C-alpha cells in the first residue's frame, strides 16, 4: 500500500496539474470506489468546481475545491491517478474519470478496488466517519521529539504497532516503520514504553530521515505503485531490511529475521537492532 512518500509524490505531481483547473464533467464506472457521497450525487456535485490547492494528509490526497468542499482520494493497495488527454485510451479497471477545463481528464484506476474517493466538506466527511482522525505529520514542524516521547511512553504495544497507528503519526506504514527501526537500531518487537530517552530520540530522527530520503527518491515501487506519469519510484534500491528477510544485513552481515508483528510481516536485524 502506498505510504507517505508515495502519496506525497503523487500529491506534488497533481498540484502542478490541477491547481487552478475546473472540473467540467464526472463519470463513475464502479460506484463502490466512492466512499461518500453516492455516484449520482458525486456526478452532480463535482462539475463546475475549481481546484484551489492539492495537499497530503497522512496517506490521503486532498484536493481543496472552491467553497468548503474537498475531493479526497486514498490510493489503497493498487490505485493509480493519471492526468491525460480525454482522447487517450482508457486503461482497464478505470473506475472514475473527471473532465478538466483544458480538455484533459483526471482518471483513477484500481485493480483490487481497495482505493476510495470522497467528496464533501471536511466537517461532513469527519462526521460521516469516512475520513478518520489522523495524528501528527512526521515531516512537519509539529512532529517534535516530545510528541514521539508521549506516544511511546503511554502504550505497552510493540514499537511497530504504535508507529503504524495512524491516529498517532499519520502516513507511516510497513515499509518505513521497518526501515526507521533499523536505522535507529531498535527492534520493532520491543515494547514502546520500554524505550529509553536516547532510543526515542534516535527513532524520531530515523523516521524523519527515512521518509525524507524516500520522498526525494519519489517513493518505493515494490509491486504496483506508480507516480502520476506511470513511472516507478527508486527508493526500493535503498531499502535496508524491508522485503529482505533471510538475506544478509547490509550493515553487519547477519541474516535478517522475518516475523509477524502487529499483523504485518516484519524484517529486522537481531544484531544491529538490540
pLDDT in tens, 227-251: 999 999 999 999 999 999 999 999 9
Q: For the whole model, what pTM was predicted?
A: 0.96
Nearest to 6 by CA among 211, 244, 161, 162: 211
Per-residue confidence (pLDDT) for residue 154, from 0 to 100: 95
Task: Please report which confidence band the pLDDT of residue 143 belongs to, taking 50, 70 and 90 as the band edges.
Answer: very high
For residues 26-31, average pLDDT: 96
> Is 3.40.50.720 the CATH classification of the domain at 145-268?
no
What does the pLDDT average to over 45-74?
A: 97
CATH architecture of 4-127: Alpha-Beta Barrel (3.20)
Cα–Cα distance for residue pair 147/77, rounded to 1 Å: 29
Mean residue pLDDT of the chain comes to 97
Identify which of 70, 73, 49 has the alpha carbon closest to the alpha carbon of residue 60: 73
Verify whether residue 145 is a known catalytic residue.
no
> Does the active-site annotation cover 191?
no
Whether 104 is catalytic:
no
What would the pLDDT profile of 60-98 be if each residue is shown by its tens digit? 999 999 999 999 999 999 999 999 999 999 999 999 999
Q: pLDDT value at position 146?
A: 97
List, by residue range, all CATH 3.20.190.10 domains of the chain. Answer: 4-127
Catalytic position from the list 35, 49, 56, 59: 59
pLDDT at 274 over 90: no
Residue 213, pLDDT > 90, answer yes
Instruction: Give me the catalytic one of 57, 157, 213, 264.
Output: 264
pLDDT number for residue 1: 79
> Could you write out the DSSP letters of every residue in 68-133?
SEEEEEE-TTTEEEEEEETTSPPPTTEEEEEEETTSEEEEEEESS---EEEEEEHHHHHHTTSS--
Active site residue 2: yes
Give me the catalytic one of 2, 5, 138, 188. 2
Mean pLDDT of 193-220: 98
Q: Residues of CATH 1.10.8.50 domain(s) within the chain?
A: 145-268
Amino acid at each position: 500500500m502506498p505510504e507517505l512518500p508515495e502519496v506525497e509524490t503523487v500529491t506534488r505531481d497533481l498540484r502542478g496539474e490541477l491547481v487552478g483547473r475546473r472540473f467540467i464533467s464526472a463519470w463513475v464506472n464502479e460506484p463502490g470506489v466512492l466512499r461518500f457521497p453516492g455516484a449520482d450525487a458525486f456526478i452532480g456535485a463535482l462539475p463546475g468546481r475549481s481546484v484551489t490547492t492539492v495537499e497530503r494528509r497522512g496517506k490521503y490526497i486532498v484536493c481543496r475545491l472552491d467553497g468548503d468542499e474537498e475531493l479526497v482520494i486514498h490510493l489503497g493497495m493498487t490505485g493509480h491517478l493519471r492526468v491525460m488527454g480525454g482522447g487517450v485510451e482508457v486503461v482497464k479497471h478505470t473506475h472514475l474519470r473527471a473532465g478538466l477545463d483544458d480538455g484533459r481528464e483526471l482518471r483513477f484506476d484500481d485493480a483490487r478496488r481497495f482505493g476510495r474517493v470522497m467528496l464533501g466538506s471536511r466537517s461532513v466527511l469527519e462526521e460521516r466517519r469516512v475520513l478518520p482522525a489522523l495524528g501528527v505529520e512526521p515531516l512537519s514542524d509539529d512532529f517534535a521529539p516530545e510528541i514521539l516521547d508521549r506516544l511511546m511512553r503511554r502504550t505497552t504495544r510493540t514499537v511497530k504497532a504504535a508507529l503504524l497507528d495512524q491516529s498517532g503519526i499519520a502516513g507511516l506504514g510497513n515499509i518505513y516503520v521497518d526501515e526507521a527501526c533499523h536505522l535507529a537500531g531498535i527492534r520493532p518487537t520491543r515494547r514502546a514504553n520500554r524505550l529509553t530517552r536516547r532510543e526515542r530520540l534516535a527513532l524520531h530522527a530515523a523516521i524523519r530521515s527515512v521518509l525524507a530520503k524516500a520522498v526525494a527518491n519519489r517513493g518505493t515501487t515494490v509491486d504496483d505503485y506508480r507516480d502520476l506519469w506511470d513511472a516507478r519510484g527508486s527508493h526500493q534500491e535503498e531499502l535496508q531490511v524491508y522485503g529482505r528477510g533471510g538475506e544478509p544485513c547490509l550493515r553487519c552481515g547477519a541474516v535478517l529475521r522475518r516475523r509477524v508483528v502487529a499483523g504485518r510481516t516484519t524484517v529486522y536485524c537481531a544484531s544491529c537492532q538490540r
